Amino acid sequence: MDVQALAARYVADYASYKAGKKNTGDVDSQKTPGVNPPVFKGKPVNVDPRVVFIAELMQKRGEHNVFHDFYKAVVQKLFDEGVSRNVYCVNIDAVIAALLLKTVWPAYRAGTIRADALETAAFTIFLYARMLGRAAEFDDHMNRGRNMDTRTAASACRFVA
């Protein structure tokens, strides 16, 4: 699979779409899901430390995920083609989607999982991840302070498996 060609095609289509929106004066263009979250931005190359952790863990295990490669190629190509001013961040939602797709893609391609089941799986996995994140945030506020600024340094973060 030529991930670079797929990314180039996506970026060309997206650039054309964005230009069309701009030409009509409509500044409310659709965003690329899993890319450029409001937290990890503003640098020449933006990264989500959770995504870096997972990528490093996969590399140590000798694992590969072509869907994650696609996301990384898209954010680089958006920059290379002048569609973005910097290299956008691939966020944790994109990695969750990439991990899910890697798991179910063979069954989907074989026809043993229908598209609606894949969609249900995606919503379910995102729901569980969000519920766990909210529970951790609630625990953080209850045990470390309620001033809503109780962020933990990335180096002190752990993961749930």
Burial, 98: exposed, middle or buried (Cβ in 10 Å; 0-12, 13-18, 19+)? buried
Beta bridge partners, 108, equal: none
Contacts of 146 (CB under 8 A, 6+ apart): none
* Chain segment 45-79, per-residue pLDDT in tens: 999 988 999 999 999 999 999 999 999 999 999 99
Share of the chain above pLDDT 70, in %: 91
Q: In Å, how far are 132, 138, 140, 148, 153 from 145, measured between CA atoms?
A: 19, 10, 7, 7, 15
Q: How many CB atoms lie within 10 A of CB 152?
A: 11
Query: 81: closest CA among 126, 155, 161, 14?
Result: 14
pLDDT at res. 136: 80
pLDDT at res. 160: 56
Mean pLDDT along residues 16-42: 86
Mean pLDDT along residues 128-140: 82
Residue 6 pLDDT greater than 80, yes or no:
yes
* Average pLDDT, rounded, for the chain: 87
Looking at residue 153, the DSSP 8-state letter turns out to be P
Residue 150 pLDDT greater than 70, yes or no:
no
Q: What token pair was written down for 23?
A: 């030409």
Using left for φ > 0, alpha for ψ between -120 and 50, and beta otherwise, residue 81 falls in alpha
Alpha-helical regions (H) of the chain: 3-23, 49-61, 66-80, 92-110, 115-144
